[in-house]
Amino acid sequence: MIANRKDDHVRFAAEQQRDLGGYNQFDDVSFVHHALAGIDRSEVSLATRFGGIEWPVPLCINAMTGGSVKTGLINRDLAIAARETGVPIATGSMSAYFKDESVADTFTVMRRENPDGFIMANVNATASVENARRAVDLLRADALQIHLNTVQETVMPEGDRSFGEWAPRIEKIVAGVDVPVIVKEVGFGLSRETLFLLHELGVRVADVSGRGGTNFARIENDRREQADYSFLEGWGQSTPACLLDAHGVGIPVMASGGVRNPLDVLRGLALGASAAGVSGLFLKTVLDGGPTALISLISLWLDQLAALMTALGARTPAGLARCDVLILGGLRQFCADRGVN
Ligand code: FNR
């Protein structure tokens, strides 16, 4: 049952990528061009530090999968690409492992293929402290992601309908594991109010994972004969909107959800994110061309990121936050409505 669901998610998420790549709200962010701002490439470092985490690059392969034979093979290929490019990587939700230990291998393959890499385990907000620790131990994980997915659960007839315990549960997990905890959405975004609450709960990092890329309302609708919740496909805030909304909250944030290219990574960093994450696009790349294709794509992105930082005069990812950007269109309206300066 879980295995089928995991395979469906991969299939429908990869299909969605065909329709993505056009406009999303990242296009409402543009850099003011300063023709003499450039520095030397040798002065640029991609390394980033946030919430007790240190990464060599401000980009990761974000949470996706595991729990079935097929998704174990995908995790192997993603882990190979992470190892060869040095980017951090997350597993998908490890709930399947808590229910049936025989699927452990579909997750541990990531650590086997990438023994020295930065790996994040992933659980949902109903996980017990004991299971959160099991997930971290199984992978020798460097950080733990907790995903928030109320909209996805709502669209699933068999989905969770009890969300009231999530916040206290997160607080317990944070206190009970000895790695940094990153709380993330799955494509509907985190509001400023949610970020304040996460900060209070002791969460180290929030990954806003906003609207604009993989759409789980659509995936869950596609899995059913009757799409009862098709009206939810426009739900949530875009990733750049969430990053702007996050200003002043005081919790480090990551940009994921609809990141299409290195320019979107730069835009996310310029809006205050400490790093970016990509799921659906990297999944499609590895499904189509194996680890070799993903290694080429990530290497190109990292090279282009450094090249653009050189032209913009940003020595570090954090330095991008000092770049002049223009906020246009619907994103500008969002800022006005939410009182964001
Ligand atoms: C996901 N995502 C996800 N997130 C999570 O925290 N736990 C999970 O198990 C999954 N599973 C999953 C499966 C598949 C096939 C995809 C494509 C994605 C959500 C993911 O981490 C991310 O938040 C969203 O996909 C938005 O980013 P992109 O895809 O637009 O780059």
Please report, in tens digits, the pLDDT of each residue of the chain (341 residues total).
788 999 999 999 999 999 997 999 999 999 999 999 999 999 999 999 999 999 999 999 999 999 999 999 999 999 999 999 999 999 999 999 999 999 999 999 999 999 999 999 999 999 999 999 999 999 999 999 999 999 999 999 899 999 999 999 999 999 999 999 999 999 999 999 999 999 999 999 999 999 999 999 999 999 988 878 989 999 999 999 999 999 999 999 999 999 999 999 999 999 999 999 999 999 999 999 999 999 999 999 999 999 999 999 999 999 999 999 999 999 999 999 999 97
Distance 41 CA to ligand 1 centre (A): 33
Residue ranges lining ligand 1, Cβ < 6 Å: 9-10, 13, 62-65, 92-93, 122, 145, 147, 184, 186-187, 209, 213-214, 256-259, 278-281, 283
Residue 206 dihedral angles phi and psi, to the nearest 5°: -120, 130
For ligand 1, mutation pick of 279, 282, 301 (most atoms within 8 Å of CB): 279
Furthest-apart CA atoms within the chain: distance in Å = 59
Dihedral, 19, 23, 25, 26 alpha carbons, nearest 10 = 100
Helix, strand or coil, per DSSP, at residue 122: strand
For ligand 1, mutation pick of 209, 214, 223 (most atoms within 8 Å of CB): 214
The protein residue whose alpha carbon is closest to atom 19 in ligand 1 is 186
Residue (of 221, 198, 275, 290) closest to 243 by Cα position: 275
Residue 259 annotated as lining a ligand binding site: yes
Relative to beta strand 29-31, strand 325-327 is: antiparallel
